[in-house]
Amino acid sequence: MTIIVGDIMLNQWKKLLKKVFHKPSNTQGTGADRGQDIPVSADLAQNVACLRSVFDRCSDIIVREFDVGPGISLRAAIIYVDGLVNKKMLSDDLVKTLMYEAGKLKEKASGKNAADFFSEKLIAFTEVKHQRSMNDLVDSVLTGETILLVDGINSGFALSAQDWVQRGLQEPDTETVVKGPREGFNENLQTNIMLIRRRIKSSGLKFETVKIGEYTKTAVSICYLEGVVNPKTVGEVKKRLEGIKVDGILESGYIEELIEDAPLSLFPTVQSSERPDKVAGGLLEGQVAIMVDTTPFMLLVPVTFPQLLQASEDYYLRWPFASFIRGIRFVTLNIALLLPPLYIAVTTYHQEMLPTPLLISIAAAREGVPFPAFVEALIMETTFEVLREAGVRLPRNIGQAVSIVGALVIGQSAVTAGLVSPAMVIVVALTAIASFTLPSYSGAFALRVLRFPLMALAAGLGLFGIMVGLLAVLIHLSSLRSFGMSYLQPLTPTVWRDFKDMFLRLPWWMMDTRPKLMGKMNTVREEPGQKPKAPKRVRRTMK
């Protein structure tokens, strides 16, 4: 009965939600008004007036008119956003040349080829674009390009003299390594693209940039390695990105939520990383990277659940240690998810499973604790999550204080006061530490959240409840897909070939193939016989 009632209720909820979040049937898009497209006219005054009206009350837009000289009377204007351009470069290489040198040239421009004459003889910039429409000019200005308009020429020159303050390349906070490159992405797309290009010097490395966001016009670059990537994945990524119609993209998290396969799932079907080496590694395996301007977090698709347990350092350490760490991580994965529920289930229902001495010491510790194990665990886990959140939000130097207070109050005083048992503190601490070993931030999040329903199931039904919860998670994971890949691959569907980078990280000379499906196009990764051999030592005879 409950199932059908639940279904009906679900449908009603869906209807209600639809009402609440009713989409206005607005065919105008998200409201950023671009107006009619006007071609650039030959009359400078008219163009400048038009641009001035567009940029009315934008105090950061600079319009500078001047005479091209010496000896000729020709008006010109440059338009740029203050702070996004290199002013010294503009004044030295553009304005100065035009004002003092242009007139000295022997050839004179005339009529139709004036535009080419300018860009070929006078504008000493590496990147020059001819823009014939006013809207394109406006877009160029807003992305930081400088516009040069010359009287009598019915197009504008968009010059690339972008230069703005950006954060340096720092070690990423979210994915630190002991051994491995320390630079992370920053907030500038060009810099980030450069970081990838420096790692993969192949013409097969493609970046296709689109603009997303009606107001923010955020540059989003689809990056892949042609010949390795599955073209279907690229097509699918493009299709999903094209479908995005929103007012703004401020972080790659927006994109992630708008393109992911399972928007209601706790588990991430898109990977995000701050590390150029990780993204480059993903590209070499056939993943597609979605690089978003203004954020250091790049997205990688498709992603599978086992990949969320792989850190980039696994590939830099020697393979026995890397494999050992992988093993540790599978253990901590289980601890992070299951230790508190197991503790609750065993102490509440299955005491007989514990060896008697252990049972006695746990029972002794729990004596005088006023709460049942579930409530005790719930209090401690919640407190820990609160502390953790406080540690993230607070300024860094205060964060230290919070953790000390937290450790003292929760660890020491709560036990002394008899509110919680020491065993519970150990369980919660172990769980917390274990959850920090998981390399994927969003993957670890899923486990953190799942712990609570599992604890409730354990409290209600013991081990049976935990098993039910785990099966539900397993069924859910089995039905997930990420951009056409099964989420649990290579575990199921089983691809034995890909097990070499799964529980173990086999040595590089054995990783001869790319993961199936992702790097379908070009599976061979290395020449056979890469196993290093020491040259045979020639035994010298002693004389």
Partner 1 sequence: MSQNEKVAGTQMMFLLVTTVAATGFLFLPAITAEVAGHDGWMSALLGATAFGLLVGLVCTKLGGYFPDKSFVEYAPVLVGKYPGKLVGLAYLLFFIHINSIIIREFGDFLVSAFLPETPILVFNIMVLTLAAMAVRGGIEVIARVNQFVFPQFFLVLAALVFLTIEEWEFGNLLPLLEYGIKPVLAGSVTPSAWRGEVVVILMFLPYLNKPAEAAKSVAAAVLIIAVFLTLPILAGVLVFGSEQEAHFVFPTLELARYVNVGDFLQRLEAIIIIVWVAGITVKVAVFYLASVLSASHLVGLSDYRPLVYPVGIITLVYSIVLFDNSRELVKFLAEYVPYYAYIFELGIPMVLLVIAIIRRKGGKLSGQTKFFQKDRGS
Task: List residues near partner 1 by CB under 8 A.
Answer: 1-4, 7, 349-350, 352-353, 355, 461-464, 467-468, 471-472, 474-476, 478-479, 486, 488, 491-494
How many angstroms separate the CA atoms of 65 and 146, rounded?
13
Q: Which C-beta is closer to partner 1: that of 453 or that of 462?
A: 462
How far from 512 is each of 377, 500, 520, 530, CA to CA, in Å? Answer: 47, 10, 13, 9
Closest CA to 234 of 274, 212, 205: 205
Nearest distance from residue 136's CB to partner 1, in Å? 45
Q: Which C-beta is closer to partner 1: that of 495 or that of 511?
A: 495
Cα-only R_g, the chain = 31
Nearest distance from residue 355's CB to partner 1, in Å? 6
Nearest distance from residue 499's CB to partner 1, in Å? 13
Distance of CA 82 to the CA centre of its chain: 29
Question: H or E stretch including 64?
Answer: strand 61-68
Nearest distance from residue 542's CB to partner 1, in Å? 56
Contact assessment for residue 197 and residue 177, using Cβ atoms and an 8 Å cutoff? no
Nearest distance from residue 494's CB to partner 1, in Å? 7
Q: Which residues are CB-neighbours of 353 under 8 A, at least 6 positions away?
A: 346
Q: Is the peptide bond before 296 cis (omega within 30 degrees of 0)?
A: no
Nearest distance from residue 461's CB to partner 1, in Å? 7
Q: Which C-beta is closer to partner 1: that of 264 or that of 475?
A: 475
The structure tokens 């209090």 sit at 379
What 430-434 contacts at long range (C-beta under 8 Å, 24+ apart), as own/partner pairs, is 430/335, 430/339, 431/335, 431/336, 431/339, 431/340, 431/381, 432/384, 432/388, 433/332, 434/331, 434/332, 434/333, 434/335, 434/336, 434/339
How many angstroms separate the CA atoms of 301 and 237, rounded?
8
Nearest distance from residue 5's CB to partner 1, in Å? 10
133 CB neighbour count, 10 Å cutoff:
14
Q: Which C-beta is closer to partner 1: that of 1 or that of 534?
A: 1
Q: Which C-beta is closer to partner 1: that of 289 or that of 362?
A: 362
Nearest distance from residue 246's CB to partner 1, in Å? 31
Q: Which C-beta is closer to partner 1: that of 130 or that of 476?
A: 476
3-class secondary-structure state, position 512: coil
How many angstroms separate the CA atoms of 324 and 317, rounded?
11
Nearest distance from residue 302's CB to partner 1, in Å? 17
3-class secondary-structure state, position 156: strand
- Phi and psi at residue 61, to the nearest 5°: -90, 125
Tell me, what DSSP letter sits at residue 85?
B
**First-residue to last-residue Cα distance in the chain:** 95
Q: Which C-beta is closer to partner 1: that of 358 or that of 364?
A: 358
Q: Which C-beta is closer to partner 1: that of 75 or that of 476?
A: 476
Nearest distance from residue 488's CB to partner 1, in Å? 7
Quick one: tokens of 304?
A: 């599978």
How many angstroms separate the CA atoms of 354 and 423, rounded?
14
Q: Which C-beta is closer to partner 1: that of 107 or that of 352?
A: 352
Contact assessment for residue 67 and residue 74, using Cβ atoms and an 8 Å cutoff? yes
Q: Which C-beta is closer to partner 1: that of 150 or that of 346?
A: 346
